[in-house]
Amino acid sequence: MRISLLAMAMLSSAVVADPAFIQSQQGNLRIDTVATDLAHPWGISVLPDGRLLVTERDGRLRYIDKSGQISAPITGLPAIVVAGQGGLLDVLTDKDFASNQTIYLSYAEPGANNTNSTAVARATLDGQTLKNFKVIFSQTPKVDSKYHFGGRLVQQADGNLFVTMGDRGNQRELVQDLSTLVGKVAHITPDGAAAPGNILAEQKKAQPLIWSYGHRNIQGATLDDNGRLWTHEHGPQGGDEINITVAGKNYGWPLITYGEEYGGGVIGKTSQTGLEQPLHYWVPSIAPSGMLFYRGAMFSKWQNNLLVGSLKFGQLVRLEIKDDKVTHEERIRIGARVRDVEVAPDGSVYLLTDEDKGAVLRLTPAG
């Protein structure tokens, strides 16, 4: 049975006819519910045959076929810490998946004495099983925390990967420390070695995997047409921000921010010499998660717009970009926490809703 987004927005148990229709500045939109009853879905990837791979934060990876049928959990996953914001996070299909069936997963990896950290693994997807499972990256140090794992994965045209990380919620003092991987973006090869271009590796005691630093909790990342990395990250109370994330740059956390402590209280300044200003920021927070540039055929007026999910307000945020500046922002009301955004081969937009009984939604023009 399909459940309308309007019902979800009203927190009602009433079942109404699917699909739902919502208004947008570029024309009315139709939302179809593809699948429901997923436990906090976090990451989505479209396979060449049109099926979806979806992670559930509770530690399950599943297929969803074109009819919305949800598979049994795929086996072969490692031990995963499922607590707070931790669990199974992103899934990324390799650029050559059609020939090698390789996928990448990010997740909360257990350590000694109740510690954990963000990890990335590579595996071969063979039907209902993961084979050749190999951990290629582990954030250091591992700490006792349930928060701020980051975890978004992006692959470049040359096959190298970006891995986003957070400050773990209680490790702010390590974010500016280049000997750690806390509050950093890592840039690695598919085998987990330092990828070319990590200029901080030239500094004494710096981790050679670091691409950029000074990040609080990056949960959205994508590449533009020029191959540049764009990220967004959660601020504290206010101060969510979007950045073009450049090798060797310091994005300021916790020295500068447009947010404040939860409940009030100054954290730092809003600017400082040598620290990067955000390209765009939100006060109050929208709690962003998932992000991509739209390049599909279905929404002609959305070409190269940046689409950002909002957890806090249950929205899809559409940003028009010109000369690396946001020229217009639209908030499209979805009615549920949007955790991830993906574009299908036909140009429709898939959304994941992060709820106890989360859903995969498909967004198309109404007309």
Q: What are the residue numbers of the active site?
A: 148
The DSSP code sequence of 66-131 is TT-PBPPPPB-------BTTBSEEEEEE-TTHHHH-EEEEEEEEE-GGG-EEEEEEEEEEETTEEE
Burial class (CB in 10 A: 0-12, 13-18, 19+), 165: buried
The DSSP code sequence of 157-171 is TTS-EEEE-B-TTT-
For 63-71, the CB contacts below 8 A with 24+ separation are 64/34, 64/35, 64/360, 68/33, 68/34, 68/35, 68/360, 69/35, 70/35, 70/37, 70/38, 71/128
Q: Comparing C-alpha atoms, which of 151, 135, 138, 126 is closest to residue 75?
A: 126
Q: Comparing C-alpha atoms, which of 334, 360, 258, 255 is closest to residue 8?
A: 334
DSSP state for residue 278 in the 8-state scheme: P
